[in-house]
Each structure stands twice: as structure tokens, then as C-alpha cells.
């Protein structure tokens, strides 16, 4: 039931939409069960492509993607796909049902669950995502943030071992983005999910365990969020802006001013900024 998340093992993964233009070249990478990885990099470097390979929406041209020791391929993809949830950028494109309740139930319909269990599960995940009161609503009645919470509820109701967020918060306002981040943090804390998020949001990166920087079709860097934020070249390449407190710390250090006690630091790894 995905109680501890499912691990990824990528070996020399290559992919091209057109043979003349390779996008990813021999990527080797481990994502341990229950960990949360941020995938960052310049525009067009292949983040979404890698997310689709991880989600089984695209097939590799070379190498292997193992999910919990099973290679993701034509023979296994049907079985593994329901264990891998994906949340995309545009909340409108993900709504399938006529109501929130139908939308969350939709993915469960192929599972042959007894009707009562299905209703209980829809209610359980709607409550977890604090959208229980929205169950009878039509998508047109919801805000972008509410629609993204429905998308997450629909996926979590399937009890996946892996959830991939592809710029899931980028179309949301600041409040909704904060709410989605709180959900991601809770998911991480539960230990039930392995998570991959493609994001430009510094707070989201900071909340993850590790940042993988894609560049030149391969893994250009694999480091902690603190290390990434300290690396001004990588930050600029990836068009990322560090969280405010870290920028403040850096600016004070540049000017030789000690960081004021009591302002708090962002994670232990920032101690030597
Ligand atoms: N369906 C497609 N057919 C052909 N080429 C594609 C397709 N999708 C993406 N590409 C190309 O593959 C490369 C990688 O695109 P991808 O969307 O994976 O990058 P990305 O890092 O997610 O970009 P962004 O940060 O702009 O979202 C780009 O050069 C893009 O133009």
C-alpha cells in the first residue's frame, strides 16, 4: 500500500523526441523510498521530460528506470502507473469529473472497490485535503488552489507510492501556494510517499531533502537545498531566487554584518552561509 514510498533507480537513461535532438543523456540517479527530491534547471533542460519518464508517460530510448526494483517498461507500465501520481501545472486540465466527489472517485473506479469503501475513501481524502465541504461542487465554482487540492486528493486516494509535482504551484496565488506547500510537507512527514517536485519556488525546494540540477541533458549537480542556495552561479543558471532570509544572510555577510540573533536560520545547512 505504499506505506514507505517507492524507490527509483535510474541507470543511463537517455531520451530524445527527435533523434537529432537528444534531451536527456545517460542519467544515473537513485531516489530512495520516502525521500523528496526537487528537480531544477534552466528552461528547456528536460525537467518535464524526466518527470514523464519517471511517471511512465514516456518510454526511455536507452537505459532503465526501476521502480522498487521493477523496470518501468511496456510490460509493467499498466501495473505501475496507478502507483505513481502526477500533479501538473494547470488546475483546469486535471479535472475529469462533473463534481469534486466524482473527480476523486474517478481514479478509484477501475479498482473494483466495494461502493461503500469507495465513498469512505473519497470522504477520507477530501477531509485530509480540507475540501470535504466542496464535494458536491462543480469545477467552475472552485478557485485554482481548491482545484489543485482536488487534484492532489484524487491522486492520494489511489494510495500511490510516488507523487510527482510538475510546477504544481506555479499558477497559484501566494496563499494557495503556501497551502499546497503545507500539504507537501505533511506528505513528506507521513513517510508514505516518495516525492519529486519540479519547481521554481524557493520554499518548496527548501522543504525538500535534495535538489537535482539538470543541465546539458544530464545531472549537473545533486546537492542539498542549502548548498544550492549558496551556489550563486547555479541559482542564476536555474533562474532561482533564494528565500528572503537566506538572501538577507548573504547580503549581511557580504557587508560584514553579523546575522542578528533571534531572526532564525533556514535549516542547519545554512549555518555557515
Ligand atoms: N512533445 C515534444 N516534442 C518535441 N520536443 C519537445 C516536446 N516536449 C518538449 N520538447 C523539447 O524537449 C526539451 C526539454 O523540454 P522540457 O519541457 O522537458 O524542459 P523543461 O526543463 O521542463 O522546460 P521548462 O522549464 O521550460 O518547463 C526542450 O527543448 C523542448 O522544446
Closest-CA residue, ligand 1 atom 31, reads: 44
Closest-CA residue, ligand 1 atom 4, reads: 17
d(CA 29, CA 81): 20
Sign (positive or negative) of CA dihedral 124, 126, 129, 134: negative
What residues flank ligand 1, with Cβ below 6 Å?
A: 17, 23, 41, 43-49
DSSP code, position 161: S
Integer CA distances (angstroms), 179 to 148, 175, 224, in order: 10, 6, 23
CA 198 to ligand 1 center in whole angstroms: 13
Closest-CA residue, ligand 1 atom 18, reads: 46
pLDDT interval class at 92 (50, 70, 90): confident
d(CA 165, CA 196): 6
CA 205 to ligand 1 center in whole angstroms: 21
Q: Is the pLDDT of residue 109 over 60?
A: yes
How much of the chain, in percent, has pLDDT values that exceed 90?
76
Q: Is the pLDDT of residue 137 over 70?
A: yes
| Residue of 42, 48, 50, 166 best suited for mutating to test ligand 1, as the one with most atoms within 8 Å of CB | 48
Closest-CA residue, ligand 1 atom 2, reads: 17
CA 214 to ligand 1 center in whole angstroms: 13
For 197, the grid coordinates are 517536485
d(CA 12, CA 28): 5
Sign (positive or negative) of CA dihedral 172, 173, 178, 179: negative
Q: pTM for the complete prediction?
A: 0.91
Q: Give pLDDT tens digits for 157-210.
A: 999 999 999 999 998 899 999 999 999 999 999 999 999 999 999 999 999 999
Q: What are phi and psi of 57, to 5 degrees?
A: -85, -25
Contacts of 115 (CB under 8 A, 6+ apart): none
pLDDT interval class at 245 (50, 70, 90): confident
Closest-CA residue, ligand 1 atom 16, reads: 46
d(CA 100, CA 139): 7
CATH hierarchy code of domain 8-242: 3.40.50.300
Q: What ligand 1 atom has the least distance to the C-alpha of 49?
A: 18
Q: Please report how the helices 144-156 and 115-128 are oriented relative to each other, as an axis angle in degrees rounded to 10.
A: 130
Given its phi and psi angles, is residue 216 left (phi above 0), alpha (psi -120 to 50 degrees) or beta?
Answer: left
DSSP bridge pairs for 211: 38, 223
CA 52 to ligand 1 center in whole angstroms: 11
CA 238 to ligand 1 center in whole angstroms: 15
| Contact of 195 with 237, CB cutoff 8 Å | no
- Determine the Cα angle at 136 with ends 81 and 133, to 5°: 95
| Residue of 13, 14, 15, 17 best suited for mutating to test ligand 1, as the one with most atoms within 8 Å of CB | 17
Closest-CA residue, ligand 1 atom 29, reads: 44
Closest-CA residue, ligand 1 atom 17, reads: 48
Q: What is the mean pLDDT of the chain?
A: 91
Q: Which of 208, 196, 239, 202 is nearest to 87 (CA)?
A: 196
Amino acid at each position: 500500500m505504499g506505506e514507505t514510498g517507492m524507490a527509483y533507480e535510474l541507470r543511463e537513461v537517455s531520451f530524445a523526441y527527435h533523434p537529432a535532438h537528444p534531451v536527456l543523456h545517460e542519467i544515473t540517479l537513485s531516489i530512495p523510498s520516502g525521500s523528496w527530491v526537487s528537480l531544477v534547471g534552466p528552461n528547456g533542460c528536460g525537467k518535464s521530460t524526466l518527470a514523464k519518464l519517471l511517471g511512465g508517460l514516456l518510454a526511455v530510448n536507452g537505459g532503465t528506470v526501476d521502480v522498487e526494483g521493477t523496470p518501468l517498461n511496456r510490460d509493467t507500465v499498466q501495473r505501475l502507473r496507478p502507483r505513481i501520481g502526477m500533479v501538473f501545472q494547470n488546475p483546469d486540465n486535471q479535472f475529469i469529473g462533473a463534481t469534486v466527489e466524482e473527480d476523486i472517485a474517478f481514479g478509484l473506479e477501475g479498482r473494483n472497490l466495494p461502493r461503500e469503501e469507495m465513498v469512505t475513501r473519497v470522504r477520507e481524502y477530501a477531509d485530509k485535503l480540507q475540501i470535504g465541504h466542496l464535494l458536491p461542487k462543480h469545477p467552475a465554482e472552485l478557485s485554482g488552489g481548491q482545484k489543485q487540492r482536488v487534484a492532489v486528493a484524487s491522486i492520494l486516494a489511489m494510495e500511490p507510492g510516488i507523487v510527482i509535482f510538475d510546477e504544481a504551484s506555479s499558477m497559484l496565488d501566494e496563499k494557495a501556494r503556501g497551502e499546497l506547500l503545507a500539504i507537501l510537507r505533511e506528505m513528506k512527514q507521513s513517510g508514505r510517499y516518495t516525492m519529486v517536485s519540479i519547481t521554481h519556488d524557493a520554499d518548496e525546494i527548501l522543504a525538500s531533502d535534495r535538489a537535482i540540477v539538470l543541465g546539458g541533458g544530464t545531472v549537473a549537480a545533486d546537492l542539498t537545498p542549502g548548498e544550492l542556495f549558496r551556489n550563486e552561479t547555479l541559482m542564476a543558471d536555474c533562474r532561482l531566487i533564494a528565500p528572503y532570509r537566506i538572501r538577507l544572510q548573504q547580503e549581511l555577510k557580504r557587508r560584514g554584518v553579523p546575522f542578528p540573533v533571534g531572526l532564525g536560520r533556514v535549516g542547519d545547512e545554512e549555518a555557515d552561509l
